[in-house]
């Protein structure tokens, strides 16, 4: 039987010291230390040299190992071992991954490592070989990053164990952060920067050197957009301009394609360039998946002819009778041949993470390079001054060679000889020592001529360096001239094509050259979608159009996008270009010319569209209201790479009853409940939430009650004459069989209350009435519509907010706004 374990008692002289600590404080401090380490030591690049610590250590250590471009390659395992042992005490996998990335020509616009072997493939479809198989050395561009590092141009700090020194930043003879970009995920922040063309970035930097107050627009004349290593096309430059202005923005990248005859009888789409970080294997797999699922029509064959000689070449062979342009649009829409790139320019500036625009990035680099050149000039002048001091002393010895030799011969030892030389010839200690250490063979007549020539050259160089250091203009001129030499030596042509147009889908019904004019997209009560021909907003004045009430309207552009919001909390993108255009004229368009929403959106059997939403950054976002009284304000950062997504997490049995696009002005949110209560509260009382959130309480409901309408109403009574429409009826009647009573009340009669309260009475029920059937609030005049979209006359204004309604002439199906129209004279009379 095994013996029982015994605990050794502590020694008698043990002095115990127990410290009580707060676990929450300890966790907070430990997490902050971890976050600090990730941000500063791993994930974010320095804005000066564009390097993360591991990348900087790789380049510096390879330079110390002498792995220059004119030397032979060495095993990557050797480089990783040197970096890990001396500078970067982390896993070898992380170091090798960083080494591989800066060697990949499809990931870096100007690779920093010259790799030999398998360093992976475009898009990461093939992993790189193990480091024991691959070899590397510094690329010529990397020599520019470490050039002059031994001339006291940057500060050094001890490594992790204090036995080595490493640079805090590299000299960086070109703006590496803009040229090669960066990506990384830290704790609480991330960075994603696009690569650019070296010549364009240097041209902008030189212009900023000459014109410190240059505007962003002028700098963008030199840097119009990113230049991706894989080429392709950037479609739509608004996101690029946003990123250059604020440091954040998105743009779309498209593959470069051409339509060619791939055989005697077949036409094909040939892909020669793909979006950044997208590999051919990923595209091929996606196309095969879509063809098998019958979501992509017209493709008969797909061949990947990519090789090292011809580069990327994907051939999509088409079936006869299919329009190549239509198939190409589907490929852009459904496959990675079109991707979205989100710019997030977060980098370290003076040790602090900051989000930088184009001008700020250039300014940080220019300031760094000016400091590097200043320190280098100071170092070189000091070295030349020291050398000139020695040369002057040696020339004194040559001019008095006989006396010098006699002094040395008559001296008892070297110390006395040094002292006598200093006294007799007025030399410094350094000069005297140098004369004593100089061999006699250096004291010939020919050497004297060489020394005099060297003296003159040193004086000229010292004068030049002094002039540079004394003049900020000359110092900046040296920086500019050196940048020009780099651009001349390493600049290449732009690979990525920039397209101003948004590249929206084209249809046969819309002209190809349709301008991107402003317009309004309308949703009618009968579920018809249409857009206006101009940007004039729908008005509420004039005679009534016969068909029909407008329940939602958002501003857009002809080539832009909008979205529909369903009662299940889904948002689905729509191309404005595909919507029918309503005729222009002095009156309102007849919405009978619209198209059913079911032609554009696939809905579940019990799902319906409740409103429209803008997607082009119009206003501060979207606000939603649900049947159970929940309100949610959604910020407009919708995913650019999804056609449909959820904007609210609904509880079981709950539905969205209304959605409104906020305009940024003074607006009130309004709930109307089935028990005839109206709650009005300010939109500022609802904080924005992310898409997965479920919202907050908007209105407090009585037992058995539910919200029947929700929306946003302008809060300025001087500018908007708003009204409230309520329609009461019986809950026992079948829908559409009773007319009910309607009441129109000025919106100004309803006081503003706090969120999550019950509101005030808005309609007094008559005998037989126990529920509100409809509710609506908005700019006057309000309009009601039948199920077929025809108009119904509403009663006049009622100045009593809790009064009863007037009997309607016909059953009502929807309440909404109206648009100006030229209705037939007897339209309203026939419906009265």
Q: Is the pLDDT of residue 98 over 90?
A: yes
- Residue 433 is part of which domain span? 366-490
Residues labelled catalytic: 133
Q: Which residues contact 144 (CB under 8 A, 6 or more apart)?
A: 172, 173, 174, 486, 490
**Distance separating alpha carbons of residues 288 and 240, to the nearest angstrom:** 33
Pure H helices in 149-230: 176-180, 198-210, 216-222
CB 108 within 8 A of CB 128: no
pLDDT of amino acid 439: 85
Q: Residue 392's pLDDT is what?
A: 92
Please report the pLDDT score of residue 153 as a whole number.
95
CA distance 308 to 367: 41
Domain check: are 422 and 530 in the same one?
no
Say if residue 110's pLDDT is above 90: yes
Residue 504's pLDDT is: 45
Span between the terminal Cα atoms of the chain, in Å = 103
Mean residue pLDDT across the chain: 85
- State the average pLDDT over residues 162-186: 92
Of 231, 289, 302, 306, nearest to 262 by C-alpha is 302
Tokens 């590249």, residue located: 503
Boundary residue ending a domain (490, 509, 527): 490
Q: Identify the CATH number of the domain in which residue 666 sits.
A: 2.120.10.90
CB atoms within 10 A of CB 511: 9
Element of type H or E holding 721: none
Same domain? For 760 and 702 the reply is: yes
What sign for the dihedral angle of Cα 369, 374, 375, 377?
A: positive
CATH number at residue 395: 1.10.268.10
Q: Decide if 27 is inside a domain.
A: no
> Pick from 614, 616, 615, 609: which is nearest to 594 by CA?
609
Structure tokens at 219: 């700098």
Q: What CA–CA distance (Å, rounded) separates 681 from 697? A: 12
22 lies in some domain: no
Confidence at residue 803, expressed as pLDDT on a 0 to 100 scale: 86
Pair (640, 760) in one structural domain: yes
pLDDT given for residue 37 in this prediction: 61
Exposed/middle/buried for residue 286 (C-beta within 10 Å: 0-12, 13-18, 19+): middle
For 399-420, the pLDDT digits (tens) are 888 888 888 888 888 899 999 8
Q: Which residue has the higher pLDDT, 721 or 330?
A: 330
Selected residue with higher pLDDT from 502 and 436? 436
Judge contact between 216 and 359, C-beta under 8 A. yes
228 in a domain, yes or no? no
Residues 6+ apart with CB under 8 A from 569: 624, 646, 647, 648, 649, 650, 656
Q: Comparing C-alpha atoms, which of 79, 179, 51, 57 is closest to residue 137?
A: 79
Please give the full DSSP string across 109-172, using - where no structure is assigned: SS-SEEEES----GGGSSPPPPTTT-EEEE-HHHHHHHTTTTSS-S-EEE-TTSSSEEESS---
Question: At which residue do the structure tokens 């006395």 appear?
Answer: 416
Number of domains present in the structure of the chain:
4
Q: Is 293 in the same domain as 388? A: no
Mean pLDDT of the 428-439 span: 90
Whole-angstrom Cα distance, residue 639 to residue 709?
Answer: 28
Is 82 among the domain residues? yes
Please determine, for residue 614, whether its predicted confidence score (pLDDT) is greater than 80. yes
> Residue 124 domain-assigned?
yes
Res 236: pLDDT: 86
Q: How far apart are CA 15 and CA 38, in angstroms?
A: 38
What is the pLDDT, as a whole number, of residue 515?
Answer: 60
Q: Phi and psi at residue 658, in whole multiples of 5°?
A: -165, 155
Q: Residue 38: what pLDDT?
A: 61
Q: Which long-range contacts (CB under 8 A, 24 or more apart) does 638-644 make?
A: 638/563, 638/571, 638/691, 640/250, 640/252, 640/340, 640/342, 641/339, 641/340, 642/573, 643/572, 643/573, 644/570, 644/571, 644/572, 644/573
pLDDT grade, residue 26 (50/70/90)?
confident
Q: How many CB atoms lie within 10 A of CB 166?
A: 18
Mean pLDDT calculated for residue range 741-745: 91
- For residue 168, what are its two tokens? 């805090």
Quick check: bond before 58 cis, omega within 30? no
> 429 and 326, same structural domain?
no
Tell me, yes or no, whether 746 and 604 share the same domain: yes
Comparison of pLDDT for 715 and 634, the residue scoring more: 634
pLDDT band at 17 (very low <50, low <70, confident <90, very high): confident
In a domain, 67, yes or no: yes
pLDDT tens-digit series, residues 501-551: 654 443 333 332 356 778 888 888 888 888 887 665 554 443 344 556 788
Q: Is the pLDDT of residue 202 over 60?
A: yes
In this structure, is residue 356 part of a structural domain? Answer: no
Radius of gyration of the chain (CA): 38
If asked whether residues 469 and 546 sit together in one domain, one would say: no
pLDDT tens-digit map of 327-384: 898 899 899 999 999 999 999 998 888 999 999 999 999 999 999 999 999 999 999 9
**Residues 645 and 709 grouped into a single domain:** yes
Look at residues 150, 171, 192 and tell me which one is the last residue of a structural domain: 171
| Residue that wins the pLDDT comparison between 588 and 313 | 313
Evaluate whether residue 728 is within a structural domain: yes
Pairwise CA distance, residues 806 & 763, whole Å: 11
Tokens standing for 86?
Answer: 């001396």
* pLDDT over threshold 50, residue 827: no
The strand pair at 233-235 and 497-499 is best described as parallel
Residue 507: predicted pLDDT = 38
In terms of domains, do 635 and 673 share one? yes
* 525, 672: one domain: yes
For residue 653, give the DSSP letter. Answer: T
Please name every residue paired with 519 in a beta bridge, in sequence order, or none if there are none.
556
Q: Which residues lie below 8 Å from residue 123, measured CB to CB, with a gap of 6+? A: 274, 277, 278, 279, 280, 281, 282
Residue 523 and residue 482 share a domain = no
Residue 144 in this model has a pLDDT that exceeds 80: yes
DSSP string, 247-316: SEEEEEEE-EEEEEE-SSS-EEEEEEE--TT--HHHHHHHHHHHHHTT-S-SEEEEEE--BTTTB--EEE
Query: Can you give the CATH number for the domain in which 88 is found?
Result: 3.90.199.10
Q: Do 575 and 505 contact (CB within 8 A), yes or no?
A: yes
**CA-angle at 676, arms to 673 and 677, nearest 5°:** 65
pLDDT digits (tens, 9 = 90+) for 281-316: 999 999 999 999 988 888 989 999 988 777 889 999
Whether the Cβ atoms of residue 828 and residue 821 lie closer than 8 Å to each other:
no
- Residue 258: HSE in the Cβ half-sphere, 13 Å Cα cutoff: 6
Mean pLDDT value across residues 775-787: 83
* Alpha helices, DSSP H, located in 344-491: 358-399, 401-410, 414-424, 429-437, 445-470, 472-490
Inter-residue contact 652 to 721 (CB < 8 Å): no
- Among 490, 505, 534, residue at a domain's last position: 490
Q: Which two tokens stand for residue 340?
A: 């979205």
CA dist., res. 375 & res. 382, Å (int): 11
CB 172 within 8 A of CB 49: yes
Tell me, yes or no, whether 641 and 768 share the same domain.
yes
pLDDT by residue (tens digit) across 35-62? Answer: 666 666 677 899 999 999 999 999 999 9
What's the whole-number mean pLDDT along residues 97-125?
A: 91
């Amino acid at each position: 039987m095994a013996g029982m374990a015994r605990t050794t008692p502590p020694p008698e002289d043990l002095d115990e010291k127990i410290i009580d600590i707060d676990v929450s404080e300890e966790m907070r401090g430990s997490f902050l230390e971890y976050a600090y380490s990730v941000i500063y030591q791993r994930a974010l690049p320095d804005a000066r040299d564009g390097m993360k610590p591991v990348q900087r250590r790789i380049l510096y250590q390879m330079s110390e190992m002498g792995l220059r471009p004119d030397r032979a390659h060495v095993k990557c395992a050797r480089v990783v071992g040197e970096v890990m042992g001396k500078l970067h005490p982390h896993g070898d996998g992380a170091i090798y991954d960083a080494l591989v990335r800066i060697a990949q020509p499809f990931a870096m616009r100007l690779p920093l490592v010259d790799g030999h072997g398998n360093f992976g493939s475009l898009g990461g479809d093939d992993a790189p070989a193990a480091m024991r198989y691959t070899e590397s050395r510094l690329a010529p561009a990397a020599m520019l990053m470490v050039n002059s590092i031994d001339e006291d141009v940057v500060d050094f700090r001890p490594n992790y164990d204090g036995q080595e020194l490493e640079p805090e930043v590299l000299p960086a003879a070109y703006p590496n952060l803009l040229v090669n970009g960066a990506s990384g995920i830290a704790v609480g922040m991330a960075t994603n920067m696009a690569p650019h063309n070296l010549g364009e970035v240097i041209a902008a930097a030189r212009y900023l050197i000459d014109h410190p107050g240059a505007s962003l627009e002028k700098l963008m004349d030199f840097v119009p957009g990113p230049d991706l290593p894989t080429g392709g096309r950037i479609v739509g430059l608004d996101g690029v301009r946003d990123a250059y202005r604020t440091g954040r923005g998105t743009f779309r990248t498209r593959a470069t394609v051409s339509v060619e005859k791939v055989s005697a009888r077949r036409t094909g789409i040939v892909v020669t360039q793909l979006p950044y970080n997208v590999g051919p294997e990923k595209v091929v797999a996606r196309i095969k998946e879509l063809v098998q699922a019958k979501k992509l029509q017209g493709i008969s064959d797909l061949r990947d002819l990519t090789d090292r000689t011809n580069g990327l070449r994907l051939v999509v062979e088409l079936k006869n009778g299919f329009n190549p342009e239509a198939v190409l649009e589907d490929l852009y829409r459904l496959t990675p041949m079109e991707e979205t790139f989100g710019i997030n320019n977060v980098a370290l500036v003076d040790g602090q993470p900051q989000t930088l625009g184009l001008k700020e990035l250039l300014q940080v680099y220019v300031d760094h390079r000016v400091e590097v050149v200043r320190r280098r000039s100071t170092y070189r002048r000091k070295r030349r001054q020291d050398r000139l001091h020695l040369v002057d002393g040696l020339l004194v010895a040559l001019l008095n060679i006989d006396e010098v030799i006699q002094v040395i011969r008559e001296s008892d030892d070297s110390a006395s000889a040094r002292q006598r030389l200093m006294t007799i010839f007025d030399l410094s200690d350094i000069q005297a020592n140098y004369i004593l250490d100089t061999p006699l063979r250096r004291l010939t007549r020919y050497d004297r001529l060489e020394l005099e020539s060297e003296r003159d050259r040193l004086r000229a160089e010292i004068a030049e360096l002094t002039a540079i250091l004394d003049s900020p203009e000359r110092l900046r001129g040296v920086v500019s001239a050196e940048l020009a030499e780099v651009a001349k030596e390493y600049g290449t042509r732009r690979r990525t094509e920039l397209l101003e147009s948004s590249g929206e889908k084209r249809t046969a019904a819309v002209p190809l050259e349709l301008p991107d004019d402003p317009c309004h997209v309308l949703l009618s009560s009968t579920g018809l979608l249409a857009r206006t021909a101009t940007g004039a907003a729908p008005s509420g004045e004039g005679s009534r159009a016969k068909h029909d009430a407008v329940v939602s309207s958002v501003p857009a552009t002809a080539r832009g996008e909008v979205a529909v919001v369903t009662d299940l909390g889904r948002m689905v993108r729509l191309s404005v270009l595909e919507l029918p255009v309503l005729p222009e004229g002095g009156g309102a368009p007849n919405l009978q010319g619209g198209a059913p929403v079911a032609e554009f959106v696939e809905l579940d059997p019990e799902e319906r569209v409740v409103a429209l939403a803008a997607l082009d950054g119009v206003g501060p976002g979207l606000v939603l209201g649900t049947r159970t009284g929940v309100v949610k304000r959604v910020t407009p950062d919708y995913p650019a790479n999804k056609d449909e997504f959820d904007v609210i997490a609904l509880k079981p049995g709950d539905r969205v009853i209304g959605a409104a696009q906020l305009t940024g002005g003074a607006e009130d949110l309004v709930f109307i409940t089935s028990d005839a209560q109206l709650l009005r509260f300010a939109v500022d009382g609802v904080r924005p939430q992310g898409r997965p959130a479920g919202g907050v309480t908007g209105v407090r409901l009585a037992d058995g009650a539910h919200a029947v309408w929700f929306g946003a109403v302008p809060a300025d009574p001087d500018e908007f004459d708003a009204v409230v429409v309520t329609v009461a009826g019986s809950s026992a009647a079948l829908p559409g069989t009773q007319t009910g009573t309607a009441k129109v009340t000025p919106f100004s009669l309803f006081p503003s209350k706090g969120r999550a309260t019950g509101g005030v009475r808005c309609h007094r029920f008559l005998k037989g009435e126990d529920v509100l059937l409809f509710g609506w609030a908005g700019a006057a005049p309000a309009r009601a519509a039948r199920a077929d979209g025809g108009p119904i006359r509403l009663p006049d204004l009622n100045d009593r907010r809790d009064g009863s309604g007037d009997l309607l002439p016909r059953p009502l199906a929807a309440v909404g706004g109206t648009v100006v129209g030229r209705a037939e004279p007897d339209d309203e009379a026939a419906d009265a």
